[in-house]
Structures are given as structure tokens and as C-alpha cells.
Amino acid sequence: MAQEKEKEVEVQSLTAVTVRFAGDSGDGMQLTGTQFSDTTAIVGNDLSTLPDYPAEIRAPAGTLYGVSGFQLHFSSSDIHTPGDSPDVLVAMNPAALKINLKEIKKNATIIVNTDAFDKKNLNTAGYEANPLEDNSLEGFKVIEVPITTLTTNALKDSPLSPKEVVRCKNFFALGMMYWLYNRPMEPTLDWIKQKFKNLPDVADANEKALKAGYYFGDATQQFTTRYTVEPAELPEGTYRNISGNEAVALGFVAASLKSKLPLFLGSYPITPASDILHFLSKYKNFGVKTYQAEDEIAGIASAIGASFGGSLAITTTSGPGLALKTEATGLAVMTELPIVIVDVQRGGPSTGLPTKTEQSDLLQAMYGRNGESPVCIVAATRPNDCFEMAFEASKLALKFMTPVILLTDGYIANGAEPWKLPKPEELEEIPVRFHTDKETFQPYGRDENLARPWAIPGTPGLEHRIGGLEKANITGDVNYSPENHQLMCELRAEKIEKMKKFIPDLEVDGDESGDLLVLGWGGTYGAIIEAINKSRAEGLKVSQAHLKYLNPMPANTEKVLKNFKKVLIPELNLGQLSKLVREKFLINVETLNKLQGLPFKSIEIQNKISEILGGKNGN
Amino acid sequence: METNIDEKEVKLTAKDFKSDRDVRWCPGCGDYSILAQVQRTFPNIGYKKEDIVWVSGIGCSSRFPYYMDTYGFHGIHGRAPAIATGLKVARPELSVWVATGDGDLMSIGGNHFIHTCRKNIDIKIVMFNNQIYGLTKGQYSPTSEKGKITKSTPFGSVDYPFNPASLALGAEASFVARSIDREPKHMQEMIMRAAEHKGTAFIEIYQNCNIFNDGAFTTLTDKETKADSVITLENKKPMIFGKDNNKGIIIEGFNPVVVDLNDGKHSVDDLLVHEETDESPIRSFILAHMTDHPGMPTPIGVFKQITKPTYDGGVAKQIKNVTEKKGEGTLKDLLYTPNTWEVS
């Protein structure tokens, strides 16, 4: 063995880095990315993540369509997106390199697992020549590491099978990246210990692989620079790293505690919403009942039954599931029972792009039912906002006795970022009163908000029948009279409109009037904010507003929009909010539509702003 | 689940269960009898009125909740078992009943039905089987006999009907019974038995639709023919039927065969003895499929009743166990987990 000499390491401080881990769908890239994110959160950086994986669980090895990626943007300042283009790509095989090459920065660092660049993998990825040897990577800083060999060497004493040993290579890569970006190994070591406590050999192997990667970074002459990213200056408080799906789950449990109603979830597994079911099924000691139903319809139908019984009842799904819940949603509208329907939107139509993000269910949420069937629709803007919006959706459903649809999307559902935890005592109470008085009980009587009383089974003397047939106003008897039907349709619509009194005004960031307002909704928030910041840095005057309440929209929406000469609506669909805004306020809007299964890059929005205002394009 | 019933408080009569709504079924419909038997039985099932809920789907039968002065939910087509499931899981102390029909439950609601049985949700499903779509005015149903001529099958239906009892047994229902609209006493007994059962109880009731499928069950209800066409299942009793109690059922291989008890060759001791609680599915399937064989009587009564833990009971138990172990969760426990960090 050659004598190793102490190497010189330069430490360079960066303000922000975007890293992308990419490999086969069985390579453990999501795990690697999540671990890197959690550790990065703990050291105090602001961060935003973008998991991007195929619908196949274990696609054939080495194929382009089997590449799974995890992008992470971390910074010493406030950030809003997972980054437009990675500075660093970790490519575990040729396919991962090929797929991601066009995405990364021109001078990016590429760390490749050279062991995977054999003839078979190169062929499968469609490479005629080895890109590591034909100068096609000129301009990039390529660091070649035989990750598989080094992992195997490190684990030569492991009792695990050769196949299992090779599987530990993602921890080697993670260890290497920890060294490179000056992150501690402890959080991941603790995680390994906990996760594999019943598989000591696996725990031991993963730990060794992680450390081997870290020490390799320390020893190899290939790495001469180490990077630090200082903690971000975030507002004071206690933080945790959170994904949108987990935040949704927590929001509902919090709403259950604050309303003092038991939480019931009826749900059928569907990508990318299943994690909400997984998270909620853990909270048994919070009295949460999760019912994995036989299908999407039973998911919502059971929630309606639980709501009739007095629970805070919810159902969770994604686009195709929302389609299946259509008729039952109408039943909840007609019976005026509170339920929250979460739609984690994904690429459609039909099965579409199950693991990819989109915002194309807005009109389905708005209009996708028979008859005049208005529901409240709210949307979350980013992973940590999902908590607030799940809480808010519950509050509105209970206050107004109505179904509420909460729209999130695959991007914010799976993406993660630090979340400043609310103080338990700061969360508002959600007052709920079941009707118990026989004398004053009218099943379809209404309060000042037009909400009907909630009288649940078990209440003596209030036995009554409700259902999907049209109800007589006040008494709730079945009634087919023409005048009553018109009245009831109008009342149900008016009830939703009344919510305007309780939802916050639309806020404008920037001047209250001017040439251009960028109006967004839901999960595009981060990309829009970054685009706005960059545009302003270029000297452009542009204002921004973001809708979290889609039906009804805030009371001042029309006023806000009409103060601008132009309104630009960027959305991940073919113009659904644009359609609503044009129809509602009779104004024209500029559109920016993307349907690629991916979130906006801020540059795409920035360029559009520039185009409208006559500025220069960024790149 | 335990129910806390103060026996003294529950002194209700059939009248207490009649709602103030006019019953709107066609005159002569078999549904009237079912409503009457339920109202007669319910004072005795051990629940207060306010703790009983009837859930239904769509169809003539599904108007049932409007006529019962209990809590009621008239749902959407086929989904009553799913709505009832959510209610029961959320509120295990309630007595939850489903009123449904052969179209509602066997066709559009088939999936919910089999999964309710499989999970052993503690709800009672009363299926009014008239072997026709009534409310949509006379199309054949999934229980109509093959060759049925209806508006939608003018040349006769070409598909095979479901055997509801067999379907319920196949889906592992823990209580499966059958009765007939024209057998009020028997029906009351079946309703009572279902009420007492812990777990999914399924009762199929043959119900005459005198408008679109009149006489479908005449052989089973006509004074002249019924004794030779119906066999009443009684637990631990040999299977005897016939006008003069002169016929019995024996098993040859896996097939039921009718024997004449007066032929000098067979005695009561040779007959199949009914065992409701037999865990093996074979016996109950033989009974459910008896009518596949020409000349065999139609069984009514309890095909099977076994005891096993309910889904709703299991959910409540898990919550209790985990809460005992971890303590009741608070908002602080929920949010402030070990993986947090401070920014100051």
C-alpha cells in the first residue's frame, strides 16, 4: 500500500448549493436524499427538496426510465425552491448521468460511480461510447469514484450476502457527501441504529459504509476542496424538517385536538397521497381512527358515515380518486355534513403520471359533480403550509357544515423543508356544538352562516333522517317542489359565498397597483417568489399575490386584480385558474402553463415576467 | 362492544318506531311486511331509539329509513355498507342497520358488501330480494333467474344470477340467514337473531314486487305448495319438511338428497342435522346451493352463525392498547418530536 501523505484541503464557504442524487430506482436514492436533507436541516440551513422517482418500484436495472432522483437545495439564507439546476450531481450509473446531464449547471461537479459504467449499463442507457472516456463531459468537474468496489472492500468482513453488501453503496455515497459538505454523520448513524435495530448485521454494514464514504472523502486526493454552508438566519423558534404529506397529517390531528372531535380517516392507497394514511395510522394514542377502505368510494362514504356520527372526518386521495369520489362528494353537499377531502394532485388525465406533480384538478374540484354542487376549495402553497391549510380546511368544514377540498400536489407533498413549529397554545380553538335541544331542532334550520345544526345519533329525541334526495328548507323532509329546489340550490351556493367573511384578504407583495401582478395558487408559490425576487433584482417592477382560497376567493380579489394592467397566472395545467379568473371577474390574464410532471423552475417564470415587461431574459 | 342498556328505560312498542312520514311503496308490496316486522321486533333488541341508525342506498327498499323513527341516512346507490361502516367504526356503541335491495347490494354495491363481510364489521344488512329492479321500472337484476324477460332483456337474460347466501358465505360473513316477506313470525325471529349477533349479519328476505315481478316466490308462499317447497332450518334439528313432515334431507357425497321418511328405508336418524355454528364452510354452502338441485326445497333460517372478533372492536382495542402504552397524545407530543432543533 502506498504511503498516504496528508492532503491539503481548502475550505470554501458557499451561500447555497443544489445537489441531485440519481441512480436506479432500487439504489436507495430517496433514502440518501432524505437523510442528507434531515441532517442539513439539523445543522440549520434552510432547504427545499424535490424527490423525482418513477412509478415502477424496481424498474429494470440501468434503464433510463428507471432513474430515481432526489434534488436538494440548501442555503444560508431563506429559500423557496429545490433549485433550478443542480451544482452537484451524484450519478450512480450511466442512465442517471444521461438523464440528468441536461438539467445540471454548465460547470457542475459530477460524482460518478465508475463501477457502474460497464458495457452492459452503458448499452442499457444508450451510450455508444463511455462518456467518462470520450471527452463528452468537458466543462464539468468529473470526480470518478469506484463506489461499489470501495463499499465491498469496506464490508469484506460483513456476514451479509454480496448482493446485500452492494446495496449499502448509497450510504457510502452519502458519507462522501457528508464529508464534502461538512455535515455530521451522527443523525444518520442514530437513524440507522433505530431503523435496523432488529437487523444488527444490516445496521453494522450501513454504518461502516457511511463511515467508509466519509473517510474516503477525507483521504482521497480527488477532493481538494471542502464546502461549508453556514446556518440560515431563520426566525427564532423550534424547527423540524417536514414534508407536505406529513404536515397535512399533523394539521388534521391538531384540528381534532382543538375541536375535541375524534379524527376519522377513510382512505384507499394511491400515489402520491398514501403517506398521509401511513402517518395518521400511527397516531392511535390521539384517538385517530384510520380505515383503509376497499376502494376510493368507500373511503369517502365511510368518512360521510363517521361525520354523521360526529367525527372530524376526512378522506385522502389523488386525481383519479377524486373522480371516483365525485358522487359521494355531492352526497356530503346535499346532507350538509362536514368532511375534508385531500387531493394530492398528480399528472393526469386517467392514470397519467402517478409519481409526478401537476395542478390540473382545480376545475375537477370546482365543477366535477352533477347538479349545482358548490364546495369550498383551499390549497397549500408549500410543504410546511400544509399543516395550516389542513387545520384551516377542518375549521371551515366544521363551521359551515360542508365538504372542503384541500388541494396539494405531488411536489409539495413529497418535498420537505424546515418548519417553524407553532406553539400549542397559539393554535386557535375550533368550537363545535352538537345540537341537543329537542324544542328548537330543525334538521335543515340554519345559523347566521347558513350552517345547519349537527345532531348526532345517540341524542335522545332528535331522531331524524337525511340523505341525497332534495331537502325541504328548515324541516329537511324530502321535497321535490320547484320553488324549494331553487331556494336550496341558492342557499347551498350562498353558504359557500358566506365563507368570504372568515377567510383572509388576498395580500399583495409589492405595489398595490402597476403594470404586472403575478397571481399564483397552491404549490407554485416558491418558484414564483424566487422569480419575483430575481426580476426585481433586474430592476423590473412586478407585484405578486397568491391564492390559498380558491372557492370562495377572498373578498378583495377582484379589486386587487383590477389594479394592474396585466395579470400573469403561471400554473401547472392548461390554464384552469385563468379560466376561473376570466369568468369571475371578466378580465383577461396572461398565462404560463407547464405540463411536464415537474414544478416550475423560477427562471421559466422570470423569463415570462421579463417578456411581458420588456426586460432581458435570464438564463 | 358492551352496550349500557337500562332495561327499565327501554319500554318501547312497534308504534314508537313508526315515523310520521307516509309510506310510499306500492300497495301490496312485500316491503310493508318487512317494515312491520322490524317495527315489531325493535322494541326488544336492547337499544334505545336514539342509538339505532338505519342506513340505505338507492332503490325501493332504500326508502326504508324514512319510515323508521330512528336516526336514518338515505345514501347513494350501493354505498350503504360503506357509510354504515364509517359510522360504526366511529361510534361502536350504536346499533347500525342497512336496508338494501338485490340491485343495490349485489350489483353496484357488491364490492362494499363482500368487504364488509370479510372485515366482520358489526352492522346488520337486511337485503330485500325481489329479483328485479323496481324503482327503475323493471329491468332484470343480478338475482333474476337466467332467461328472465324484462324491459332490458326482451329476448331473455343470458347471464347467471348471484346466490346471495352463497356470496355472503364466500365473503366470510359471520351470520347468514334468509326469510320470506310472507313469513312474519319467522322474519321477526331472524331480525332478532341478527340484532343479537356480534359481527356482520346478513339477512336475505324474499320479497314480492307485485308490479314488476309478481309471484316470483309464489311456490314458497302459497298454502298449497309451500310446505313441500320450503325447509326451515333449525339448529341441532334434523332437516325435515313436507306437508306431513314426511320428507327429510340426507347427504350423499357432497349433495343433498330428499328422502321419504315413510318409505321404510329411511328414518329421522339418517337425516342431516343442522349445525349453525359449524366452522367448516361446507355445510352452509351445501344449504345455500340446495336449490341448484331440481326438486329440493328452499331453506329459510340461519345458514351459519360463528363468533369472531369484529373490525370495529379491533380498532377500538388497538387505540386503547396504544393509548395505555404511550399515554393520551397532546399537541406538544404531536409537534415537538425528538428531531427538532432550536434557532435562537
How confident is the model at residue A7, as a pLDDT?
77
Comparing A58-67, A405-414, A470-479, the range with the smallest average pLDDT is: A58-67
Query: Is residue A491 one of the residues assigned to a domain?
Result: no
B119 CA: distance to closest CA in chain A (Å): 10
**Rounded Cα–Cα distance for residues A65 and A67 (Å):** 6
How confident is the model at residue A1, as a pLDDT?
44
Nearest residue on chain A to B58, alpha-carbon basis: A468
C-alpha distances in Å from residue A299, one per residue of A69, A270, A278, A347: 32, 12, 15, 22
Residues making up chain B, counted from first to last: 344
Phi–psi pair at B78, nearest 5 degrees: 85, -15
Is A303 in contact with A314 (CB distance < 8 Å)?
Answer: yes
Per-residue pLDDT at A445 exceeds 80: yes
Task: Count other Cβ atoms within 10 Å, centred on residue B307.
Answer: 13
Model confidence pLDDT, tens digit, residues A368-426: 999 999 999 999 999 999 999 999 999 999 999 999 999 999 999 999 999 999 999 99
Cell numbers 366470510 correspond to B172
Per-residue pLDDT at A239 exceeds 80: yes
| Same domain, residue pair A140 and A261 | no
Q: Where are the beta strands (DSSP E) in chain B?
A: 52-56, 71-74, 95-101, 124-129, 175-180, 201-206, 230-232, 240-241, 247-252, 255-260, 298-305, 340-343
| Same domain, residue pair A270 and A373 | yes
Per-residue pLDDT at A619 exceeds 60: no
Query: Is residue A432 one of the residues assigned to a domain?
Result: no
Query: Is residue B344 one of the residues assigned to a domain?
Result: no
**Rounded Cα–Cα distance for residues A158 and A78 (Å):** 43
| Same domain, residue pair B62 and B156 | yes
A292 CA: distance to closest CA in chain B (Å): 11
Instruction: Please report which confidence band the pLDDT of residue A90 belongs to, taking 50, 70 and 90 as the band edges.
Output: very high
* Type and span of the H or E element at A563: none
| Same domain, residue pair B187 and B202 | yes
| Same domain, residue pair B199 and B137 | yes
**By C-alpha distance, which of B218, B213, B204, B171 is closest to B299?**
B204
A426 in reach of chain B (CB within 8 A): no
**By C-alpha distance, which of B206, B205, B200 is closest to B305?**
B200
Give, as one character, the DSSP assignment of residue B3. Answer: -
> 3-state DSSP call for residue A226?
strand
**A459 interaction partners in chain B (CB closer than 8 Å):** 50
Residues making up chain A, counted from first to last: 619
Contact: B83, A305; criterion CB under 8 Å:
yes
How confident is the model at residue B10, as a pLDDT?
54
Looking at the DSSP assignment, which residues form a beta bridge with residue A340? A314, A404
| Same domain, residue pair A206 and A334 | no
Query: Is residue B8 one of the residues assigned to a domain?
Result: no
B273 in reach of chain A (CB within 8 A): no
Instruction: Please report which confidence band the pLDDT of residue A617 belongs to, taking 50, 70 and 90 as the band edges.
Output: low
| Same domain, residue pair B55 and B152 | yes
DSSP β-ladder status, A237-243 and B340-343: antiparallel
C-alpha distances in Å from residue A134, one per residue of A96, A111, A144, A451: 18, 17, 14, 70
Interface test mutation site (partner A, options B89, B98, B120, B172, max chain A beta carbons within 10 A): B89
Q: Which three cell numbers stand for residue B120?
A: 366482520
Looking at the DSSP assignment, which residues form a beta bridge with residue A238? B342
| Same domain, residue pair B155 and B134 | yes
Which ipTM score applies to this complex? 0.96
Query: Is residue A484 one of the residues assigned to a domain?
Result: no
| Same domain, residue pair B37 and B167 | yes
* Residues 196-255 (A) with a CB less than 8 A from some CB of B: 231, 234-241, 250, 253-254
A470 in reach of chain B (CB within 8 A): no
How confident is the model at residue A109, as a pLDDT?
95
| Same domain, residue pair A224 and A245 | no
Chain center to CA of B214: 22
Query: Is residue A485 one of the residues assigned to a domain?
Result: no
B91 in reach of chain A (CB within 8 A): yes
Question: Residue A277: CB partners within 8 Å, gap ≥ 6?
Answer: A265, A267, A269, A290, A292, A316
A338 CA: distance to closest CA in chain B (Å): 14
How confident is the model at residue B2, as a pLDDT?
47
Is B228 in contact with B297 (CB distance < 8 Å)?
Answer: yes
Question: Residue B179: CB partners within 8 Å, gap ≥ 6?
Answer: B186, B187, B190, B203, B204, B205, B206, B300, B301
**Rounded Cα–Cα distance for residues A332 and B74 (Å):** 12
**By C-alpha distance, which of A211, A257, A374 is closest to B331?**
A257
A291 in reach of chain B (CB within 8 A): yes
**By C-alpha distance, which of B243, B233, B236 is closest to B298?**
B233
Q: Which three cell numbers stand for residue B294?
A: 331440481
| Same domain, residue pair A169 and A283 | no
Q: Which three cell numbers stand for residue A98?
A: 444521461
**By C-alpha distance, which of A381, A386, A49, A394 is closest to A247?**
A386
Determine the residue type at A81. Answer: T
Is A359 in contact with A346 (CB distance < 8 Å)?
Answer: no
Query: Is residue B333 one of the residues assigned to a domain?
Result: no
| Same domain, residue pair B70 and B215 | yes
Contact: B91, A254; criterion CB under 8 Å:
no
Model confidence pLDDT, tens digit, residues A134-174: 999 999 999 999 999 999 999 999 999 999 999 999 999 99
Model confidence pLDDT, tens digit, residues A270-300: 999 999 999 999 999 999 999 999 999 999 9
Per-residue pLDDT at B8 exceeds 70: no
> 3-state DSSP call for residue A389?
helix
Which CATH number does the domain housing residue A586 bear? 3.40.50.920
**A240 interaction partners in chain B (CB closer than 8 Å):** 335, 337, 339-341
Q: Which three cell numbers stand for residue A410?
A: 405531488
**Rounded Cα–Cα distance for residues B102 and B131 (Å):** 7
**Rounded Cα–Cα distance for residues A590 and B338 (Å):** 46
Contact: A305, B87; criterion CB under 8 Å:
yes
Question: Which of B49, B87, B332 minimises the CB distance to A309?
Answer: B87
Query: Is residue A502 one of the residues assigned to a domain?
Result: no
Instruction: Please report which confidence band the pLDDT of residue B5 belongs to, taking 50, 70 and 90 as the band edges.
Output: low
| Same domain, residue pair A546 and A576 | yes
> 3-state DSSP call for residue A245?
helix
Which CATH number does the domain housing residue A390 bear? 3.40.50.970
Q: Which three cell numbers stand for residue A386?
A: 400544509
Mean pLDDT throughout A21-43?
A: 94
Structural domain containing residue A363: 241-423
**A301 interaction partners in chain B (CB closer than 8 Å):** 75-76, 79, 82-83, 85-86, 112
Query: Is residue A442 one of the residues assigned to a domain?
Result: no
Query: Is residue B203 one of the residues assigned to a domain?
Result: yes
**By C-alpha distance, which of B91, B100, B85, B166 is closest to B135?**
B100
**Burial (CB count within 10 angstroms: exposed 0-12, middle 13-18, buried 19+), residue B223:** exposed
Per-residue pLDDT at A443 exceeds 60: yes
| Same domain, residue pair B213 and B261 | no
**B12 interaction partners in chain A (CB closer than 8 Å):** none
Which CATH number does the domain housing residue A110 bear? 3.40.920.10
Is A530 in contact with A538 (CB distance < 8 Å)?
Answer: no
How confident is the model at residue A616, as a pLDDT?
62
| Same domain, residue pair A46 and A154 | yes
**Rounded Cα–Cα distance for residues A169 and A96 (Å):** 15
Nearest residue on chain B to A190, alpha-carbon basis: B339
Contact: B51, A424; criterion CB under 8 Å:
no
Query: Which residue, A229, A249, A283, sits at the end of a domain?
Result: A229
Chain center to CA of B279: 19
Per-residue pLDDT at B88 exceeds 90: yes
How confident is the model at residue B1, as a pLDDT?
43
Question: Which of B50, B83, B343 minimises the CB distance to A460?
Answer: B50
C-alpha distances in Å from residue B61, one per residue of A132, A335, B33: 73, 20, 12
| Same domain, residue pair B284 and B261 | no
**Rounded Cα–Cα distance for residues A374 and A376 (Å):** 7
**A253 interaction partners in chain B (CB closer than 8 Å):** 329, 334
**By C-alpha distance, which of A90, A47, A291, A584 is closest to B312?**
A291
Mean pLDDT throughout A562-591?
A: 97
**Rounded Cα–Cα distance for residues A416 and A51 (Å):** 9
Long-range contacts made by residues A323-326, C-beta under 8 angstroms, separation at least 24? A323/A364, A323/A368, A324/A295, A324/A296, A324/A297, A325/A296, A325/A297, A325/A299, A325/A300, A326/A368, A326/A369, A326/A370
**B336 interaction partners in chain A (CB closer than 8 Å):** 238, 421
Contact: B86, A466; criterion CB under 8 Å:
no
Angle at A533 between CA A531 and CA A538, to 5 degrees: 95
* Residues 109-128 (B) with a CB less than 8 A from some CB of A: 111-112, 115
Contact: A297, B82; criterion CB under 8 Å:
yes
A327 in reach of chain B (CB within 8 A): yes
| Same domain, residue pair B132 and B143 | yes
* Residues 60-89 (A) with a CB less than 8 A from some CB of B: none
B51 in reach of chain A (CB within 8 A): yes
| Same domain, residue pair A217 and A268 | no
Query: Is residue A467 one of the residues assigned to a domain?
Result: no
Interface test mutation site (partner A, options B334, B336, B344, max chain A beta carbons within 10 A): B334
C-alpha distances in Å from residue A321, one per residue of A272, A333, A337, A415, B87: 11, 18, 20, 21, 21
Mean pLDDT throughout B183-201?
A: 98
Helices A296-308 and B110-119: crossing angle, nearest 10°?
Answer: 70
**Rounded Cα–Cα distance for residues A320 and A270 (Å):** 9
| Same domain, residue pair A409 and A538 | no
Q: Provide the number of structural domains found in chain B.
A: 2
Query: Is residue A449 one of the residues assigned to a domain?
Result: no
- Helix/strand/coil (H/E/C) assignment for every residue in B200-262: CEEEEEECCCCCCCCCCCHHHHCCCCHHHHEEECCCCCECEECCCCCEEEEEECCEEEEEECC
Question: Which of B72, B93, B331 minimises the CB distance to A254?
Answer: B331
| Same domain, residue pair B242 and B225 | no
| Same domain, residue pair A390 and A528 | no
B307 in reach of chain A (CB within 8 A): no
| Same domain, residue pair B144 and B255 | no
Q: Provide the number of structural domains found in chain A.
A: 3
String of DSSP letters for A120-175: HHHHHTT-SS-TTTSSTTTTSEEEEE-HHHHHHHHTTT-SS-HHHHHTTHHHHHHH
Nearest residue on chain A to B337, alpha-carbon basis: A240
Structural domain containing residue B242: 238-273
**A420 interaction partners in chain B (CB closer than 8 Å):** 343
| Same domain, residue pair A122 and A206 | yes
| Same domain, residue pair A94 and A144 | yes
Average pLDDT over chain A, rounded to whole? 96
Model confidence pLDDT, tens digit, residues A495-554: 999 999 999 999 999 999 999 999 999 999 999 999 999 999 999 999 999 999 999 999
Query: Which residue, B273, B298, B329, sits at the end of a domain?
Result: B273
Nearest residue on chain B to A471, alpha-carbon basis: B74
Looking at the DSSP assignment, which residues form a beta bridge with residue A49? A72
Nearest residue on chain B to A467, alpha-carbon basis: B74
**A254 interaction partners in chain B (CB closer than 8 Å):** 331, 334-335
Looking at the DSSP assignment, which residues form a beta bridge with residue A520? A546
Cell numbers 426580476 correspond to A535
Query: Which residue, A229, A256, A274, sits at the end of a domain?
Result: A229
Query: Which residue, A423, A439, A469, sits at the end of a domain?
Result: A423
Is B82 in contact with A298 (CB distance < 8 Å)?
Answer: yes
Which CATH number does the domain housing residue B143 bear? 3.40.50.970
**A308 interaction partners in chain B (CB closer than 8 Å):** 53, 73, 83, 87
